[in-house]
């Protein structure tokens, strides 16, 4: 009688592990997605910064500003990046401020989360 109870206890541990495993995998994938999201934000913020750095020296070259910003989006899906937006206040002349914003649509691997827009903005004074 005691032997049959022991055998059942080992099977119980396997069933408990099978019930907990999906939750552990979901937590693990969420941690990976968090790291990927932080990486995407850093890349987008640096791309906006590089675009505005080019723009404060060449404020009339909007295509150059956009291409400089997009050239620095390393390891991101180019199809998920919106065209960088450029804004000057009040005008794009010396002494005024220029802002460049780059938006990336981050798609997590974890199925519970939707696509998240990640935006990086940088503002500098035009030289």
For 63-104, the pLDDT digits (tens) are 999 999 999 898 999 999 999 999 998 999 999 999 999 999
Domain of 12?
2-125
pLDDT of residue 5: 53
pLDDT of residue 9: 60
Q: At 34, list the tokens.
A: 């968090």
Q: At 106, list the tokens.
A: 């981050």
The alpha carbon of residue 7 and the mean position of all alpha carbons in its chain are separated, in whole angstroms, by 49
Q: Quick count: other Cβ atoms within 10 Å of Cβ 118? A: 21
Task: Count structural domains, the chain.
Answer: 1
For 26-45, the pLDDT digits (tens) are 999 999 999 999 999 999 99
Q: Is the pLDDT score of 7 beyond 80?
A: no
Q: Which bin fits 82, alpha (ψ -120 to 50), beta or left (φ > 0)? A: beta
Beta carbons of 126 and 93 less than 8 angstroms apart: yes
For 11-21, the pLDDT digits (tens) are 788 889 999 99
Contacts of 121 (CB under 8 A, 6+ apart): 45, 48, 99, 100, 101
Spatial distance between the Cα atoms of 124 and 99, rounded to a whole number of angstroms: 7
The beta strands (E) that lie in the chain are given as 85-89, 97-106, 116-125
pLDDT of residue 8: 53
Tell if the pTM clears 0.75, that is, is over it: yes
Identify any residues that bridge with 104 across adjacent strands, giving them in sequence order: 81, 118
Beta carbons of 119 and 47 less than 8 angstroms apart: no
Q: What percent of the chain has pLDDT over 90?
A: 80
């Amino acid at each position: 009688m005691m032997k049959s109870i022991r055998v059942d206890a080992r099977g119980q541990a396997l069933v408990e592990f099978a019930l907990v495993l999906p939750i552990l995998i979901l937590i693990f994938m969420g941690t990976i997605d968090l790291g990927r999201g932080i990486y995407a934000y850093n890349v987008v913020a640096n791309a906006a910064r590089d675009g505005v750095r080019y723009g404060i020296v060449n404020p009339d070259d909007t295509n150059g500003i956009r291409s400089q910003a997009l050239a620095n989006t390393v390891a991101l899906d180019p199809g998920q990046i919106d065209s960088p937006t450029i804004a000057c206040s009040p005008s794009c002349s010396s002494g005024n401020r220029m802002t460049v914003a780059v938006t990336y649509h981050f798609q997590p691997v974890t199925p519970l989360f939707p696509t998240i827009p990640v935006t990086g903005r940088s503002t500098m004074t035009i030289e």
